[in-house]
Every structure is written in C-alpha cells, then in structure tokens.
A and B are shown apart, each in its own frame.
Chain A
Amino acid sequence: MRPENPNPPENAISTYSTSPRRVRKRPLLREASITWLLFGCALVSVLTTVGIVVMLAVQAAGFFRQVSVLEFLTGIQWTPLFDPQHFGVLPLVGGTLLTAGIAILVALPVGLASAIYLSEYARDSVRRVLKPMLEILAGVPTVVYGYFALTFVTPLLRSVFPNMIVFNALSAGLVMGIMIIPMVSSLSEDAMVAVPRSLRNAAYGLGATRFEVATRVVMPAAVSGIVAACILALSRAVGETMIVAIAAGSTPNLTLNPLESIQTMTAYIVQISLGETPHGTLEYYTIFAVGLLLFIMTLLMNLFGQWFVRRYREKY
C-alpha cells in the first residue's frame, strides 16, 4: 500500500535504505487498561464519600435504634457515661457553636482587614512577603495551637478575668480564631482581587481616596466572596478538634458564657476514642451519632458557601 520510497537527497546521511517500519504492537489493549486504572484512581475519591456516609449512617443507626432522633436533637443534657444517661446533643452543639462563634469574631475583622491591605494597599514586593507569612499560620499543627491556648493564653486571660476556669471556651475560641485568619484573608482577597480594575479607576476618577475605594467599591462588589469565605471558615472552626480538646474542657454545658468550661462535638469524640469504651455498646455508638451530625453540619455549610458564591457573584 505504501508507495516506493524514492532515493533520499544526496545531503542526507542515512544508513538505512528502506523506511523505518513501525514495530509498536497494537497498543489498544494497553491504552484501555491504563484508562481503566486511572478511572479506578478517580473512583477512590467517590468511594471515600460513599464510605463516610455509609459508615456513619450504619454505626449511628446502632445509636438511633435505642435513642430517638428527637431526644438526640432537642435534649439539653448530655451524660452518656453517667447514670442517669441523657442523650441530648444540644450542649455539645452549643459548645461547638460558642467556640466557633468566638473564632469568627476574631478572624473576620482581622482577616478582612488583612485582605483589604493585601489587595488594595500593598505593593507587589510587600505582598509577596506578607502573604506567605500569613499562610504559615495555617500550617501550624492544631496540637501546637492547643498547647498555646492552654499554657499561654489561658493564664493571660485569667489575669484579666480572675474567676475564669482553666478550661474555657474563650481561650480556645481566640486561638481558633487566629488559626482561621489565613482562610478568611485569603478567600476574601481572592474575591477582592477579582473585582476589575475599571471599577476602581472609575471611583478614583471621581476623586475617591484609597480607603473609600476599598470600602465603598471593592468590598461591596466582592461581598458574595467574602460571605462565602466566612461560611467556609466557620465550617472549619466547627470541625476543629485539638484546640478545643486541649483547652476548652470536657464538660458538656449549654451556655453563652465564654468563661465557662464546655465540650464540643469534636472533643467528645476524642474523649470517647481515648477511653475504654468497648465496641458495640450504646456509648460507643454515640461518637458516630455525633460524628454524623458534625458531618452533616459542615457539609451543609460548605455546600451553602459554594451555592452562595454562585448565586450572588457579580458577573463582570
């Protein structure tokens, strides 16, 4: 089928007189099996989610066979290890939300202010130095933050509030807030940087100062991204474990007073995991019930954050 190869031009150096023959075997089988192998890798991530949902549900079912969902979600006493046993999860949820709330109160203004500075004020060279420094905060292991909360922040706070208990929501919340500053800052900054130059230029052209441009033009335009940043940071704070396990206490306590000891959902799971609770008992299943609730809460927050951005993002 191939035509005869004519003589090669004189200036070519060639030690072969016939065209090279393709010696590759039919690669279709190999290509197909590689494609399937790679698809299998991608499947792992899907199976992970399936696994989380199934495992949590199956194990939590062991709990809900004996305790009604209503009691779980509306009860205000959580004493699964004591007599009489109560299985109302609200104190744990309250502890989680209290510490997470304090964290956001810290991280939101600081993170937002950092984002404004980095996106509207800082020169490129300055930005290149400051941004990584902020990122380092996110890379510190949470046990270290927990240690810091217990051994440094708590004594410091107790000098201001002498009747504060050693294990309290405030220390943990503050340190958690520091931990999530980079998240609020970086996501807000992304939202602000995405606002086009032309909007800023229009405002400058009308005689606005840099502060006015930042607060009256850029921030409102980026508000959907900023809100999403907060929601995602809140979700992160809700899911945080070690800081609260070390510094916030292990007393389920439904309160708004940050100076008191509380226990979060995550800290409870850690407490039981470390204990001698045997498998298959109701006490054992409680960690999966709480875990399921935690998973659902953070998932809803993450999905809401993503949906919020999609819905309210300014189209440029």
Chain B
Amino acid sequence: MRNGFPFKRRLKVRQVKGGVFRTMFLAATLVGTFVLIVLIVDVLRDGAGWLDWQFLTSYPSRRPEEAGLLSALFGTLWVMAFTALLSFPVGIGTAIYLEEYAPDNRLRRLIQTNINNLAGVPSIVYGLLGLSLFVQALALGRSVLAGAMTLTLMSLPVIIIAAQEAIRSVPESHRLGAFALGATRWQVVRNIVLPSALPGVLTGTILAMSRAIGEAAPMIAISALVYLTFIPTNPMDRFTVLPIQIFNWVSRPQEDFQHLAAAGIIVLLIVLLGMNAAAIILRNRYQQRTEE
C-alpha cells in the first residue's frame, strides 16, 4: 500500500456506493412514469365501463345514469376554435416583430422579459383578468368569446416563445440572399422566413392549445357554471368545458359521479393524445424535409 493508504479497498466502497446511487437515480427518473401508469390504469378501471355513446351525447343530469358530456364537449370545441383563431395570428405576429423587426433596444428586451414572466403567472389570475376585463368591463358576459379571449392571453407566451425559436432557426444566409435580390423586409419574412418556420410554429401552437384545453381554473372564473344543459350556438352564449364538467363530477360525494368523472377524464386524455400526436407527426415531417 502506498503511503499506508488503502486505495483498493476505498475504491471498492466508492464503486459500490456509486452503483447504488446510480440505481437510485434511475429509479427516480422512472418514478414519474410509474405514477403515470398507475394513474392511467386507475382512471381506466374507474371510468371505462361508463364510457359509451349515451355518455357522449347526453347532457349532465342529477341522475348519474343519464348524465353525459355533450354540453362540455361542444363548449370545449367552441372555445378552442376561437382561442386558436385569436392566438395564432397574434402569437406569430409578436414573434415576427421581436425577431425580424424590433431593434435591439430596451423596449425589445422589456417586451421579451414581460413575455417570459407572463408564462409563469398562475392560470387562475388569468381567469380573474378575464372576469374583470372581458366579462364585466367589455360587457361580453360569461360567453364563449370571453373564455376564448382569456385562454388566448394565457396561451400567447407559450406560442410566442415557440414561434421565436422556429424563426430563429431559419439560417441568416437565406435572408441575406433574399435581401440581395431586392426583397423588402416583409417580402423576406413572408416568402423565406415564414415558410421555413411554419411547421415549428404550428407545433408550438398545437402544444399550447393542448395545455389550454385542460385548464379548468380560468374557465371556472369566466363561466361560473358547472351545470349546463345546452350547447352554444354563437360566441356570446354561455358555456362549459370538459375540465369543468370533470371537476363538477369529482366534487360530488356519490360514487357514481366519480365514475362519470373518470369517463370524462378518458375522453379528455384521448383528445390530448390526438393533439400531441399531431404535433409530433408534424415535427417529424418537418425535420425530414429540412434534412434533404
């Protein structure tokens, strides 16, 4: 032993320790997945039996056997349609402005910091904003439109940040080539930057929408209803959405309503799965094209 230092023995201890921790770290990484699987199995077990066509086409009812998701489904559709319609152009427009037009000065940095901060504001606060601004001050009432505008404001930071990344990934050399051919800045954006960035922006928008769909808190503040037996026919109608309906059922003590809630959750998760799958397919097709 050199200098009386038991290196080999110490090394064995260190290695065993390292191995143990490695397993622990791996286990930690898998904890989340494990819980997720438990969650999904639990929900499926509780709700699959209650998921049928009648469930999807009935209105909520005080009697669990007759209750259904119809008003919530249509409410979600209406709100999400308007949210997408409003948030996509404003989101892209902001990102284009920040990346292509804004000079690098304090105003731009302020806007950027502000957007980053808005992404961290609790969703219920957006609900309160929507309540006081859209429902009351602008007198839109507790309407689909007020809900959509609230969700738009909430989704914008996510969309803007994703769009900025997509725009930044367009190589500068393409822009320079277009400028050198006499294109104006808007022509460069419209003909060169946007076509290349669009798939990335769409992916970001879909992901933002999929988050917004699951938001109950701001919608509760706007809609304030959990028991709705009609579907919206115009944007000024009152509404309810899937998460609110689920929340309503979970809050009731009778066990049957728990099953209804689980069935509703299955529907919600399927919708989310579809949206995320669409986003991933879009992203993969885009990556294939640029690798040509």
Contacts and interface: CB of A to CB of B under 8 A. Distances in A.
A and B touch in the complex (CB under 8 A): yes
A39 B250 contact: no
Interface residues of A, number: 84
Interface stretch (B50-58, B61-69, B117-125, B172-180): B117-125
Given A116-B25, A241-B122, A147 B261 contact: yes
Contacts of A140: 36, 39, 214, 269
A142 interface: yes
Contacts of B123: 239, 241
Contacts of B29: 113-114, 117-118, 122, 130, 134, 185
Contact of B39 (A35, A111, A148, A279): A148
Interface residues of B, number: 87
Contact of B243 (A49, A141, A178, A239): A141
Nearest to B131: A273
B92 to A, nearest CB: 8
A229 interface: no
Contacts of B251: 246
Interface string A109-140: 11101101110011000000010011011011
A178 B35 contact: yes
Contacts of B272: 139, 141
B128 A56 contact: yes
Given A35-B101, A210-B18, A141 B215 contact: yes
A150 B250 contact: yes
A191 B93 CA distance: 31
A136 B276 CA distance: 10
A148 B22 contact: no
Contact of A45 (B27, B111, B213, B276): B111
Contact of B156 (A45, A148, A246): A45
Nearest to B243: A143
Contacts of A78: none
Contacts of A55: 128-129, 132-133, 137
A52 B28 contact: no
Given A52-B129, A141-B272, A148-B42, A235 B120 contact: yes
Interface of B: 14-15, 17-18, 21-22, 24-33, 35-36, 38-39, 42-43, 46, 89-94, 96-98, 101-102, 110-111, 114-118, 120-129, 131-133, 136-137, 153, 156-157, 160, 184-186, 210-211, 213-217, 220-221, 224, 226, 243, 246-247, 250-251, 258, 261-262, 265, 268-269, 272, 276
* Among all A-B residue pairs, the 7 with the closest Cβ atoms: A141-B214, A239-B122, A41-B93, A113-B28, A211-B18, A117-B25, A241-B217
Interface of A: 27, 30-31, 34-35, 37-42, 44-46, 48-49, 51-52, 55-56, 58-59, 109-111, 113-114, 116-118, 121-122, 130, 133-134, 136-137, 139-148, 150-152, 178, 181-182, 185, 209-212, 232, 235-236, 238-242, 245-246, 266, 269-270, 273-274, 279, 287-288, 291, 294-295, 298-299, 302-303, 306
